[in-house]
Amino acid sequence: MRSLFLSALLLAVMSCFLPEVAHAGITRHYTFNIEMKSETRLCHTKRMITVNGKFPGPRIVAREGDRVIVKVVNHVSNNISIHWHGIRQLQSGWADGPSYITQCPIQTNQSYVYNFTITGQRGTLFWHAHISWLRATVYGPLIIFPKRGVPYPFAKPDKEVPMLFGEWFNADTEAIISQALQTGGGPNVSDAYTINGKPGPLYNCSSDTFKLKVTPGKTYLLRLINAALNDELFFRIANHSFTVVEADAVYVKPFKTDILVIAPGQTTNVLLKAKPNPHKSTYLMAARPYFTGQGTFDNTTMAGFLEYVQSSGNITLPKNLTLSLPTLPAINATSVVANFSQKFRHLNSRQYPAQVPQTVQKRFFFTVGLGNSPCSKNQTCQGPNGTKFAASVNNVSFALPSTALLQSYFFKKSNGVFTTDFPATPLRPFNYTGTPPNKTFVSNGTKVVVLPFNTSVELVMQGTSILGAESHPLHLHGFNFYVVGQGFGNFNQSTDPAKFNLVDPVERNTVGVPAAGWVAIRFLADNPGLSHENSNNLNSAAYNNVSSNATV
């Protein structure tokens, strides 16, 4: 089962007041109207929550240094908030968006103005709802161009195309997660994966297919975003390859590949060079999930078309031949995922240096994975042995407060809202990737870690196999971090740190903890306020806000 752990609330305590961030760019205004819209896919029409009536939602475009102001007006009966996934939110913690963490949700007929400045970032990110499962339909691209006059550190493409991977559910997603929370079992899975909201031709009764139109010899920058709720995805275009140039809005050392792996919450920019003399006029592209857990998942394949169009020259496109799907790895191809993730290196140039903390002032060791919690009296639960699934970090499952944590911290009214005793290491060590312990119940609490401002932090996240080994993508709000090491099995404090890359490790905001493995990250706690770390794997009734608390 995949799991959510809103893991890790982190308070950075200010030891001084920082100067206001200079607004070198312009101010860009947007309005998001949260409203119901009828949409039809797979011959099934349903009413669902959208932004400005669009699925996926509208594009946010800005440049590095710009101030972005988005007024969100809620016209539906559901509470909602919007998270700007990957934005550093330097001194703008109130604009981060997770409900009950940095704000109370926006109620019906109410509005909220998000106000933040994009500082030191350029590339592709995205935005999505951050309450319950509303982000299944409420999401869209967030594109950040370099400052005017600053070129890309790679050849300028002829065209740029955002491609959002998402999901389609025939049923109401709020009803799905509500049932899962009630029964303690895994939620029903999606009926299809989508590219820009379109499932493609491989599904029954599907008339919506994404088409990428290219001209022979031209270069295209594909801005790939995985906005799916739970699943890491393999992606390939038949007989074509990519050059990866950016990840999570940070430039990387370019590398070539014909297969991409994108975890939920991750973004990847790739250059696609169209063939000068294609053998066909149309090629298939396809994506399907990577999965190693024991629960149910959407084992389907979405597809789209790469179509060559006539250029202004004398190129004659061949008539289309039989189309075949590109070969995708096995569903549980962990080695492919590991090999792909290890190719990422920070660009680490003079203009874009890798500022990896070389010394560490605070170390944490977090175990992440699934456990279970007791079933309420007079209730039948569908988790292991009649219990409820529960995700946790260091065996603490997050209890969602009724007061926003940043509010309670800011107004110094945290008593009864949260405690500061989140464990820095597991209270009961065990063989994390071996035989599971006899006791698998988790504890519940709203606990945080308090850090002095500017603390250098090293966090090792250890996957567990208590109820099955699986990959856990984790996102850290308000911060980027450097992935300095990863491996399989149990982390060894005596030998593994010697292998850490402290020169040019990839800088990200979302990373996958390997199935039955570990990942080590480093970052500087230089963003005062309250942040949290959460998994984008919202599977299982572990999403009872189930989480863990921890850090930045």
Give the pLDDT of residue 313.
62
Give the pLDDT of residue 314.
64
Give the pLDDT of residue 22.
42
Residue 445 CA, distance from chain mean position: 24
136 φψ region: left (φ > 0), alpha (ψ -120 to 50), beta (else):
alpha
Return d(Cα 322, Cα 320) in angstroms, integer: 7
* Mean pLDDT score of the chain: 90
Mean pLDDT of 141-162: 97
Return d(Cα 197, Cα 163) in angstroms, integer: 10
**pLDDT bracket for residue 369 (50, 70, 90):** confident
Give the pLDDT of residue 24.
66
Residue type present at position 551 = T
**pLDDT bracket for residue 172 (50, 70, 90):** very high
Q: Which residue has the higher pLDDT, 471 or 538?
A: 471
Structure tokens at 286: 């396809």
Whether pLDDT at 250 is above 80: yes
Q: Which phi and psi (to 5°) does residue 173 adopt?
A: -65, -30
Q: Is the peptide bond before 56 cis (omega within 30 degrees of 0)?
A: yes
Question: pTM of the entire structure?
Answer: 0.92
**Residue whose C-alpha is closest to residue 225's, from 292, 296, 135:** 135
Give CA angle at 146 (102, 149), nearest 5°.
150
Whether pLDDT at 189 is above 60: yes
Domains of the chain, with CATH numbers?
27-145 (2.60.40.420), 159-342 (2.60.40.420), 362-551 (2.60.40.420)
Return d(Cα 477, Cα 97) in angstroms, integer: 10
Spatial CB neighbours of 55, under 8 Å, sequence gap ≥ 6? 37, 39, 48, 137, 197
Give the pLDDT of residue 312.
66
> Which span out of 50-54, 375-379, 448-452 was modeled with the highest average pLDDT?
50-54
**pLDDT bracket for residue 120 (50, 70, 90):** very high
Whether pLDDT at 27 is above 60: yes
Mean pLDDT of 448-453: 92
Structure tokens at 31: 């309005």
Mean pLDDT of 183-212: 95
Judge whether 224 and 270 are in contact, CB under 8 Å.
yes
pLDDT-wise least confident of 38-42, 168-172, 372-376: 372-376
DSSP H or E run through 179: helix 173-183
Over residues 423-438, the pLDDT tens digits come to 999 998 999 998 888 7
DSSP code of residue 183: H
Q: How distant, in Å, are the alpha carbons of 357, 427, 450, 463, 551 from that of 362?
A: 11, 18, 11, 21, 11
Spatial CB neighbours of 494, under 8 Å, sequence gap ≥ 6? none
Give the pLDDT of residue 371.
85
Mean pLDDT of 38-56: 97
User: Sign of dihedral through CA atoms 114, 549, 513, 91?
Assistant: positive
Give the pLDDT of residue 545.
28
Neighbouring CB atoms inside 10 A of 109's CB total 10
Lookup result for tokens 């169209």: 274
**Residue whose C-alpha is closest to residue 4's, from 90, 118, 98:** 98
Residue type present at position 44 = H
Give the pLDDT of residue 315.
67
Return d(Cα 392, Cα 543) in angstroms, integer: 10
Return d(Cα 4, Cα 544) in angstroms, integer: 8
Over residues 469-494, the pLDDT tens digits come to 788 899 999 999 999 999 999 999 99
Whether pLDDT at 236 is above 90: yes
| List of long-range contacts for 33-38, beta carbons under 8 Å, 24+ apart | 33/73, 33/75, 34/72, 34/73, 34/74, 34/75, 34/76, 34/80, 34/106, 34/138, 35/75, 35/76, 36/75, 36/76
**pLDDT bracket for residue 440 (50, 70, 90):** confident
Give the pLDDT of residue 234.
98
Residue 276 CA, distance from chain mean position: 35
Q: How distant, in Å, are the alpha carbons of 119, 151, 184, 509, 521 from that of 506?
A: 19, 21, 37, 10, 10
Residue type present at position 322 = T
Judge whether 551 and 479 are in contact, CB under 8 Å.
no
Structure tokens at 169: 């559910």
Q: Which phi and psi (to 5°) does residue 405 adopt?
A: -65, -40
Scored b (16 or more CB within 10 A) or e, 466-488 reads bbbbbbbbbbbbbbbbbbbbbee
Residues above pLDDT 70, as percent of the chain:
91
Whether pLDDT at 537 is above 60: no
Whether pLDDT at 90 is above 90: yes
Give the pLDDT of residue 504.
98
DSSP code of residue 447: B
**pLDDT bracket for residue 528 (50, 70, 90):** confident
Residue type present at position 40 = T
Neighbour-count burial of 188, counting CB atoms closer than 10 A to its CB (0-12 exposed, 13-18 middle, 19+ buried):
middle
CA count, 13 A, side-chain hemisphere, 202: 22
Give the pLDDT of residue 15.
32
pLDDT-wise least confident of 103-112, 288-297, 365-374: 288-297
Mean pLDDT of 56-72: 98
Q: What is the largest CA-CA distance in the chain?
A: 75
Structure tokens at 62: 């800005």
Mean pLDDT of 361-381: 90
Give the pLDDT of residue 551.
30
Give the pLDDT of residue 389.
87
Return d(Cα 241, Cα 238) in angstroms, integer: 8
Scored b (16 or more CB within 10 A) or e, 333-355 reads bbebbbebbeebbbbbeeebebe
**Residue whose C-alpha is closest to residue 521's, from 489, 552, 488:** 552
Give the pLDDT of residue 23.
44
Whether pLDDT at 37 is above 70: yes
Q: Which phi and psi (to 5°) does residue 316 adopt?
A: -105, 120
Spatial CB neighbours of 340, under 8 Å, sequence gap ≥ 6? 257, 259, 260, 261
**pLDDT bracket for residue 17 (50, 70, 90):** very low
Q: How distant, in Å, are the alpha carbons of 295, 383, 400, 487 from that of 379?
A: 22, 12, 22, 41
Query: From edge to edge, which strands make up the β-sheet containing 302-308?
Result: 211-214, 302-308, 282-290, 232-237, 260-262
Judge whether 341 and 261 are in contact, CB under 8 Å.
yes
**pLDDT bracket for residue 1 (50, 70, 90):** very low
